A and B are shown apart, each in its own frame.
Chain A
Amino acid sequence: DAGVTQSPTHLIKTRGQHVTLRCSPISGHKSVSWYQQVLGQGPQFIFQYYEKEERGRGNFPDRFSARQFPNYSSELNVNALLLGDSALYLCASSLGQWDYEQYFGPGTRLTVT
């Protein structure tokens, strides 16, 4: 079975631009969470979506938004990029909203110059 997939793998953007990152969960998984991992730090929670509804939001500015589609894939959007947004963005999926095990994708490495 395919695991969690994310696209693109790498991305270079300029300050002020907008970016869209994509995630496809494991087949049958209905919950998707997004995390930001700055170099040398642990991942930080950005969003959780379950059944296309936002179920949680971390301490991130409104420039960050996300959505989940009927096929349970998800997009993370970041507007007005800042240098500090440079990070590895991880997507994790789970069967249900409360399943203890979250399966992580390989991440998208975003570099903002």
Chain B
Amino acid sequence: AQTVTQSQPEMSVQEAETVTLSCTYDTSESDYYLFWYKQPPSRQMILVIRQEAYKQQNATENRFSVNFQKAAKSFSLKISDSQLGDAAMYFCAYRTLTGANSKLTFGKGITLSVRP
């Protein structure tokens, strides 16, 4: 079974600074998706960024980028120029490309606070 580990329960960053959120996962599969989701206090889960395992190039979405290390099974999220609106819980998630369904396996999440 696949597992996703987020070992940092909380992090804090100064507004306009850069922060990196860590995630590791365990799988025996070679093809899969990895995601970072954001869950603000209003609770609606929003997709931040995704990475296909077969792609060597790290995904980037505006101020958000990932560092995907397939061999190390590591998938970190870098937020540049942090803004107050980035404060939320962030979840790392894994999705297989095989099997009967497209379930997401989530980590425990990390609470990010942004200091003005």
What is A's interface to B at a CB cutoff of 8 Å? 3, 31, 33, 35, 40-45, 48, 55-56, 58, 88, 90, 92, 94, 97-107
Q: Which B32-52 residues have C-beta < 8 A from chain A?
A: 33, 37, 42-47, 50
Using CB atoms, name the residue of chain A closest to B9.
Answer: A40
Cβ-based interface call for B104 (8 A): yes
Asked if B43 and A107 sit within 8 Å, CB to CB, the answer is: yes
CA distance A97 to B43 in the complex (A): 24
User: What's the least CB distance linking B21 to chain A, in Å?
Assistant: 13
Asked if A101 and B45 sit within 8 Å, CB to CB, the answer is: no
Query: Could you say which of A42, A44, A100, A101 has the most chain B C-beta atoms within 10 Å of its C-beta?
Result: A42
Asked if B106 and A43 sit within 8 Å, CB to CB, the answer is: yes
Q: How large is the interface on B (under 10, 10 to 19, 20 to 34, 35 or more residues)?
A: 20 to 34
CA distance A44 to B99 in the complex (A): 17
Q: Which B60-107 residues have C-beta < 8 A from chain A?
A: 91, 93, 95, 99-107
Asked if B103 and A56 sit within 8 Å, CB to CB, the answer is: yes
CA distance A94 to B91 in the complex (A): 19
Asked if B106 and A44 sit within 8 Å, CB to CB, the answer is: yes
Complex interface: chain B residues within 8 A of A43 (CB)? 45, 91, 104, 106
Asked if B108 and A104 sit within 8 Å, CB to CB, the answer is: no
Asked if A48 and B106 sit within 8 Å, CB to CB, the answer is: no
- Could you list 13 examples of A-B contacts with CB < 8 Å? A3-B44, A41-B108, A41-B109, A42-B4, A42-B91, A42-B108, A43-B104, A48-B103, A88-B43, A92-B45, A100-B50, A102-B102, A104-B45
